[in-house]
Amino acid sequence: MGKKKLLLAVIGLFYFGMALFAISAKKLHTASLPRVRIGYLEQRSFFVEGNQNFLPALPRELCETELYYLSEEEKNGEVRYIARNLNGVTLGKEENGYCPVLDGMSAIWPLITAGAEKLTDGQEVFVENEEDLKSWY
């Protein structure tokens, strides 16, 4: 009879542990995601080919880095934040600490401004300043 009680106790502990793990799985997943901050490009005045234009402006510190924007995508039935690489962005000559975005990016896309150093295209991320997200749909 003692072995039976021990077996039932081990089974009970096992199922309790599995339930606890299932409850905390989302927190564990979120804790493992890279932390990023987002921002939006502001419109600034630039002289391009002799004409004054209002264009989206990329801050100097981001002009020579790999750029990522934030995409909302459904994965496993939940909306997740995914980092997407910006390829083919054409920048103009820097003026007053900003580079004009001539082509390849919209000013309404949420740009990853911090934490992009170790990202890869399609990687899920945690947005630290989620309250700054604007709906772009």
Q: Where are the domains of the chain?
A: 1-32, 35-132
Evaluate whether 94 touches 133 at the Cβ level (below 8 Å).
Answer: no
Average of pLDDT values for 111-137?
A: 83
Structure tokens at 124: 């899920």
Residue-wise pLDDT for 72-102, tens only, equals 998 888 889 999 998 888 888 888 899 898 8
Query: Mean pLDDT throughout 60-79?
Result: 88
**Range in 48-52, 55-59, 115-119 with the lowest mean pLDDT:** 48-52
CATH level 2 (architecture), domain 35-132: Beta Barrel (2.40)
Alpha helices in 1-137 (DSSP H): 2-31, 60-63
Predicted pLDDT at 137: 44
Q: What pLDDT is stored for residue 135 in this prediction?
A: 59
SS3 label, residue 54:
strand
